[in-house]
Chain A
Amino acid sequence: MKKILLFLLGILAFLPFIPIKYNLSFFSIPPQLTIWVIIATLQFIGVMIFAYLTRGDWK
């Protein structure tokens, strides 16, 4: 589970730097920023899940 999550986070780390033209926008937030905010949110959730999964490793 931890390895799958790390793999996904690895993909999410590179995703923002792949030049794709996005056309997604909420509240007039520009499309580029919108997609970056979505990726950052996913990364954040991923790191929090990672912290939960590794809670036993800190003893």
Chain B
Amino acid sequence: MTNILLLYLGICIMLAYFGWKKRGNTIEDFFTTKRQTGAIITFMTFSATLYSSFMLVGVPGFFYTHGIGSFAFIIFADILMGLLVYYTGRKFWEMSKEHNIITMTGFVEKRYRSRTAMIISLLISFAFLLPYISTQIIGLGIILSNALNVPVIVISIIVLIIIFLYSEMGGMRSVSWTDALQGTILVIVGLMLMCGIISYFGGIESFFMNVRNSNSELLSAPGPKGLFTMPMLFSFFLMIFLMPVTQPQLLMRFFLPKTKKALRTMLIAVPIYAILAIIPTIFIGFGAKLLDPNLVSGDMSFNTILQIFPDWIGALSIVGVVAASMSTADSQVLALASLVTRDLFKSKLRVARISILVILILVFILSINPPKLMVTLSILSFAGTLQLAPTLLGGLFWNRGTANGAIWSMITGIGTLITYQWFFTSPLGFHSAFWGFVVSTIVYILVSLRGKRMELLTTGGS
């Protein structure tokens, strides 16, 4: 186990070193590789960033606890994401090139000519992403400490140091190269486990027969606990489908490629990758249910399923979880650092490096003794950033969208999310994020219509 893990970490550091050798000295180079990334690496870094350890640990846990509904909220969103890349990715890429935009909040500031709108979008990004990174590090620490018999805190420190090293050394170049490796490991591990599980239970037919005999409610929505009603599934679909626009670390990936044509690779490859990454999670979750139907938490499905595999596959699988966590966490740290450096302080490379360190220290502090609020915020990460969608999509396509519209849209969206999450029951069975999105969209339109028309940012000759 230790050998495989060390080999993986060694390769990550080696890739970081190559990134460091090729890096330039500008902030654009550090955060976007000066738009010199090739099509395959752009697609791989996008996919690896999209699928965190949630994919190997959280989603199987959903299957284990809530059944087949988990398939719907993730697969449809990820397949149709290609369309979002076509309609938004192209425009973001063109704007980024013409106006030298390298961050999500930079786009908000330039499009709405409003520092207030930029600061609110930055605060929302921090409030919902920082806790998410911390819980990933905690989760990773727990899995590795069980496997290696090392305290969680030591694991967390080592992982954060490695992320720090390769983020600092080569910035986005190192992060995207390591992402490519990590994304590949994630898919290989998932497929390998799926094949093993199908074979262990005597084929697909026999596998599902066993699940039906174990608990037939798992095989239909809304599942044993009634979570996945159709309104709830649609809410989850919306949160995930809009992630490439609403999460800063994913939006940044649109600024990386050398040519716009590279984004076409994403339109084709993202749905293929989604299928390869998602289908194994059905077998991991249900397989764990068949092996041990009384786990304390569905998140333990991944560890449970490993008992039917030889040690070396178990070790490789744990490396897969480490890779999935690190590929998302490093991208999120880099994205948050870019927001602080470029948009908040309008500063230079040295501040970028310091801000990475400060963010990682914050992540570490939060992960040592996570406040209850932080755990809730991390669960609501996708829901919180969804409230940025009207501001970003409106800013991209609607020339009537105004700064006031954006500001009030973000504030009311988050307000509605909080209201229905903590104080009232969300109406009609939809997730509170859905109502936040509805309210923020209506407010964006109404407030904008009362204001002066603002020109859209030009995109390459238009």
Contact = CB atoms under 8 A, between A and B. Distances in A.
A5 B315 CA distance: 45
Contacts of A16: 72, 76, 233
Interface stretch (B44-52, B116-124, B257-265): B257-265
Contacts of B204: 27-29
Contacts of B261: 58-59
Contacts of B220: 30-32
Interface stretch (B80-88, B316-324, B328-336, B350-358): B80-88
A28 B208 contact: yes
Contact of B79 (A40, A54, A57): A40
A54 B268 CA distance: 11
B264 A58 contact: yes
A33 B286 CA distance: 13
B287 interface: no
Given A32-B221, A47-B79, A17 B209 contact: no
A18 interface: yes
A43 to B, nearest CB: 5
Nearest to B236: A17
A7 interface: no
A30 B233 contact: no
B80 A36 contact: no
Contacts of B80: 9, 13, 43, 47
A51 interface: yes
Given A33-B219, A58-B264, A50 B82 contact: yes
A24 interface: no
Nearest to A39: B76
Interface in B227-263: 230-231, 233-234, 237, 260-261, 263
Contacts, number: 91
B267 interface: yes
Given A16-B233, A30-B68, A30-B220, A54 B76 contact: no
Contacts of A47: 79-80, 82-83, 267-268, 271
Contacts of A55: 264
Contacts of A32: 68, 219-221
Nearest to B231: A17
Contacts of A54: 86, 264, 267
Interface string A15-50: 011110000000111111100100110011001101
B362 to A, nearest CB: 38
Nearest to A43: B79
Contacts of B349: none
B285 to A, nearest CB: 13
B157 interface: no
Interface in B205-236: 205-206, 208-209, 212, 219-221, 230-231, 233-234
26 contacts: A16-B233, A17-B72, A17-B231, A27-B204, A28-B206, A28-B208, A29-B208, A30-B68, A30-B219, A32-B68, A33-B71, A36-B72, A40-B75, A43-B76, A43-B80, A44-B79, A47-B267, A47-B271, A50-B82, A51-B82, A54-B264, A54-B267, A58-B90, A58-B261, A58-B263, A59-B261
Given A43-B80, A54-B264, 19 more contacts: A9-B83, A13-B76, A16-B72, A16-B233, A27-B204, A29-B208, A30-B219, A31-B220, A32-B68, A33-B68, A40-B76, A47-B79, A47-B80, A47-B83, A50-B83, A51-B82, A57-B86, A58-B90, A58-B260
